[in-house]
Amino acid sequence: MRALILPTLHDHTLETPPAMSRIEREVPESDEKAKLLKYYRDMLAIRRVEEACAKAYSQQKIGGFLHLYIGQEAVAVGAVAALQPNDYVMTTYRDHGLAYAKGMTSRAIMAELFAKETGCSKGLGGSMHFFDAANGMMGGWGIVGSHLPIATGMAFASKYRSDGRVCLCFYGDGAASIGAAHEAMSLAALWKLPVVFICENNMYSMGTPLSRSLSVEDTSQKALAYGMARDRFLGDDVLLIRERIGQAVRRAREESLPTLIEVRCYRYRGHSMSDPGLYRTKEEIEEFKQRDCLRLARAHLEKMGATEADFQNFEKSVKEEVDDAVKFADESPVFPAERLEEFNYID
């Protein structure tokens, strides 16, 4: 696949950034090393959690749907790095990675997937409905595009209360033409709300190439219809993602203006566990793996002095964390059926 030409747009004026390789761009300042080490570990942990989920699904420990985030880890980690702790995020049913990046523990993730009481939604939501209000994770949403109006409403509430919070709303390219998405963005622009809409464009929706579903494949251009700022870039460099989404977050917080961002990313697995991904070639997948987000972050860290021992320590600590999460989920109790009415009725 040819490299994309990715413009930056601010205040609706096209600006072309200088050409710069993601690997060869200037190494960050030394005070960034600790941050990048954290980003790397978070991305690695998300990937290993997802791999453990795939294994548990094959062992029938996880039922229902399971949508893995493998390949897109930099988007969640980089975006959350641009936020303040009390900011909101909400996303689609591919929600495990963002939940972890926003502070949810691997124990709470795995227990929810195992349908256990100790899960983030007491085992009642499952893979597609993660929720963690304490960390500002305002849900994974199962109906395509349904959560965009809710994000607009949350941003309206933040503006009404003057609490300074920003809402990041993630959605896939399959939701880009959903009516609710247009309504949400139209109102966000009209009312000047502090929300950032982020299209994680993996180029296939469920399994259909964009060329067969969209007349214009650059989904960020939809922002022009609403007089909204927009941006578009590749989703494999966690530092670039933090920087570019950070610009939109500042616009939302300081000027109460929305932004539409398209992040071009790539999932290595099928849409869900039932999808063998036969609509893609092995060569295409391997091409994208050559610029994998973990590989890019590691290259940055090696330039900053990180050693092989550092990366081995990361693998060891992440493995221990994931093994502990699986054990915790296995041993946790199922939510008692006689208490289900607590979540259906209220006096």
CB atoms within 10 A of CB 149: 18
Q: What is the pLDDT of residue 345?
A: 66
pLDDT digits (tens, 9 = 90+) for 144-190: 999 999 999 999 999 999 999 999 999 999 899 899 999 999 999 99
**Which CATH number belongs to the domain containing residue 120 in this structure?**
3.40.50.970
The total number of structural domains in the chain stands at 1
**Contact between 98 and 80 (Cβ < 8 Å):** yes
In a domain, 204, yes or no: yes
179's tokens: 């009516």
**What CA–CA distances, in Å, run from 133 to 93, 143, 276?**
17, 20, 34
pLDDT at 23 over 80: no
Measure the CA–CA gap between 36 and 38, rounded to whole angstroms. 5
Q: What is the pLDDT of residue 133?
A: 94
In a domain, 245, yes or no: yes
In a domain, 332, yes or no: no
In a domain, 95, yes or no: yes
In a domain, 98, yes or no: yes
pLDDT digits (tens, 9 = 90+) for 233-290: 999 999 999 999 999 999 999 999 999 999 999 999 878 887 788 888 889 889 889 9
Q: What is the pTM of this model?
A: 0.88
Measure the CA–CA gap between 49 and 321, rounded to whole angstroms. 9
Q: Which of 205, 190, 76 is nearest to 135 (CA)?
A: 76
In a domain, 1, yes or no: no
In a domain, 292, yes or no: yes
pLDDT at 198 over 70: yes
In a domain, 171, yes or no: yes
Once rounded to an integer, what is the mean pLDDT over residues 309-319? 96
pLDDT at 32 over 90: no
Domain that holds residue 100: 32-327
**Residue 5 pLDDT level (bands cut at 50, 70, 90):** very low
pLDDT at 63 over 80: yes
pLDDT at 127 over 90: yes
CB atoms within 10 A of CB 182: 16
pLDDT at 39 over 80: yes
pLDDT digits (tens, 9 = 90+) for 199-211: 999 988 888 778 7
